[in-house]
Structure formats: C-alpha cells, structure tokens
C-alpha cells in the first residue's frame, strides 16, 4: 500500500461499466468496474464504496438523478488499496463525475432517436388515435378471488362491452 501511495498519492480517476453491484448489511457497496483494453480484452477492477462516502455522495447522485446500477457507465475517483490476505487490489471510491454518466445516457438516447427516425417509428405514437375508454382490459390475479369477482362485476354492470382477459396467478 505504501508503494501504491507513492505512485498514486493523489488518487486516480477511472471509468467503466458497473457490474455485479451489491450492498452488504453494513451499508458498504461493492462492484466491479469493467471496460475493454486496447486489444479488446475485458479488464476489471474491484471497487469498494463505503457507507460514509456513499452518504456523502448521495446529494450529488440525487441531484443528477443517478442510481448506481449494473450496466451504467461511470467515471469515479478513488485510491488503490492492496489487501494482502487474499491478494486483492481494489479501488476505494471517493467521488463520482455525474456528467460522464449523464453524457453517456444522452448519447445513447440520441442514437436511439436517430434509429427510430430512420426506421419511421419515431412519430408512430403521435399518429395513433387512442380510444377515450380502453375496451380491452387485462387482469393479473388469482382467479375466483373476491377482488377479481368484484372488479369484473363492476365492469359488466357499466353497460360498456369491455373485453376482459384474466391471467390467473398464485398470490399470497
């Protein structure tokens, strides 16, 4: 750890995609940060976000409407730490750059809009006329229960010819 501090005493910024995120009972969050190297090989580093730092970063995450989840690309700041008992090198997260993630999300949205426009699907919802009253109703519940019976009775008594489809599931 002393050698790591000598070379990375200020900490470092890294980026990649969150994978395998989990939070333990103590409130500490762990995940892998995954990316591809120059050769296209998958590389990863384990990241630890301790509860106190997570609480400190929470206002930034909330303001940016970001939630740390699998699959999102992030740019984070931290310090390298080597844990000798299991030979594991980890990044102890200290900060996050929300603009990096928001920029990636904006680029993904722009690409999707471009594809939808190219296929002619972008404006389809606006061109579709919706019925003022939905005529087909789908229910998911336990068939034969009082709730399903009450609902279907009320719908039938409305005098409107609704098409009701019930999918029976076991509920508790």
- pTM beyond 0.85: the answer is no
Pairing of strands 42-49, 88-96: parallel
User: Phi and psi for 75 in degrees, rounded to 5?
Assistant: -120, 115
User: For 50-72, what is the mean pLDDT?
Assistant: 92
pLDDT at 69 over 90: yes
Task: List the Cα angle 11/77/57 in 5-degree steps.
Answer: 130
What angle, rounded to 10 degrees, do the helices at 98-119 and 51-63 form? 40
Report the Cα–Cα distance between both ends of the chain, in Å, rounded: 52
Chain centroid, CA 118 distance in Å:
27
Closest CA to 141 of 110, 172, 163, 120: 172
Query: Residue 89 — very low, low, confident or very high, per pLDDT cuts 50/70/90?
Result: confident
Q: Are 88 and 46 in contact (CB under 8 A)?
A: yes
CA distance 34 to 51: 22
Closest CA to 96 of 139, 135, 51, 59: 59
CA distance 26 to 24: 5
Tell which wins on pLDDT, 11 or 24: 24
Average pLDDT of the chain to the nearest whole number: 87
CA distance 18 to 165: 40
Residue range 99-133, pLDDT digits in tens: 888 888 888 888 898 899 899 888 887 888 877 88
* Other Cβ atoms closer than 10 A to 170: 6
């Amino acid at each position: 750890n002393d050698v790591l501090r000598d070379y990375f005493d200020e900490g470092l910024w890294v980026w990649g995609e969150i994978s395998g995120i989990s939070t333990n009972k103590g409130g500490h969050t762990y995940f892998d940060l995954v990316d591809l190297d120059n050769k296209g090989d998958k590389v990863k580093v384990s990241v630890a976000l301790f509860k106190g730092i997570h609480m400190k970063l929470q206002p930034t995450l909330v303001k940016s409407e970001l939630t740390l989840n699998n699959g999102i690309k992030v740019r984070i700041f931290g310090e390298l730490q080597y844990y000798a008992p299991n030979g594991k090198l980890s990044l102890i997260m200290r900060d996050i750059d929300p603009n990096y993630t928001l920029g990636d999300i904006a680029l993904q949205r722009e690409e999707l809009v471009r594809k939808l426009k190219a296929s002619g699907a972008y404006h389809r919802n606006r061109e579709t006329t919706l019925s003022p009253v939905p005529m087909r109703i789908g229910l998911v519940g336990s068939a034969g229960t009082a709730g399903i019976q009450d609902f279907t009775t009320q719908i039938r008594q409305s005098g409107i010819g609704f098409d009701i489809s019930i999918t029976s599931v076991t509920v508790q």
